[in-house]
């Protein structure tokens, strides 16, 4: 059985790149998690998980991460990605991700609504929501990326 993460951080980055994959990689670097191997996970924040400003993770580590990202090759287009965490009372949280053709503010509003609905359908009391997003106006090939990275 895998251990349950004890720490998390919310990150966001945006960047241009020569290719779609380079744009994504550069956005990860801008977010501060570009040297990790992201394991995409679904959207539950473990109970008693502590928020930290930065995770101290060795390069190449397999890192559980809930994320949203978008890459565009349309010059002048604005794209955004955001994540939100809904926090309950002394229990697990719910992470939501979104990306699309919109502003950072619109993406953050969307994930906030998604977190609120996740608590409503679970019949749980929502204490607060934290959201983090980013947007970019594409020059040639741009990526917006937002994530909740989890660690032990």
User: Which residues are known to be catalytic?
Assistant: 37, 42-43, 97
Residue 80: enclosing H or E segment and its boundaries?
A: strand 78-87
Q: What tokens appear for 22 in the block?
A: 């380079």
Sheet holding 78-87, edge to edge: 44-45, 93-100, 78-87, 128-137
Q: Are 111 and 84 spatial neighbours (Cβ–Cβ below 8 Å)?
A: yes
Kind and range of the H or E run holding 114: helix 104-122
Place of tokens 């400003």: 53
Nearest to 146 by CA among 43, 47, 19: 43
Residue 37 Cα distances to 40, 62, 70, 122, 142, angstroms? 10, 5, 18, 31, 21
């Amino acid at each position: 059985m895998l251990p349950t993460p004890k720490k998390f951080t919310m990150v966001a980055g945006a960047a241009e790149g020569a290719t779609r994959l380079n744009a994504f990689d550069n956005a990860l670097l801008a977010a501060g998690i570009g040297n990790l191997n992201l394991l995409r996970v679904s959207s539950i924040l473990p109970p008693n998980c502590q928020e930290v400003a930065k995770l101290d993770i060795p390069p190449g580590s397999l890192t559980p991460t809930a994320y949203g990202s978008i890459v565009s090759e349309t010059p002048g287009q604005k794209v955004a990605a955001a994540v939100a965490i809904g926090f309950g009372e002394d229990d697990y949280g719910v992470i939501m991700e979104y990306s699309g053709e919109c502003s950072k503010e619109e993406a953050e509003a969307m994930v906030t609504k998604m977190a609120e609905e996740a608590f409503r359908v679970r019949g749980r009391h929502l204490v607060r929501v934290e959201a983090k997003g980013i947007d970019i106006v594409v020059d040639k090939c741009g990526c917006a990326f937002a994530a909740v990275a989890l660690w032990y």
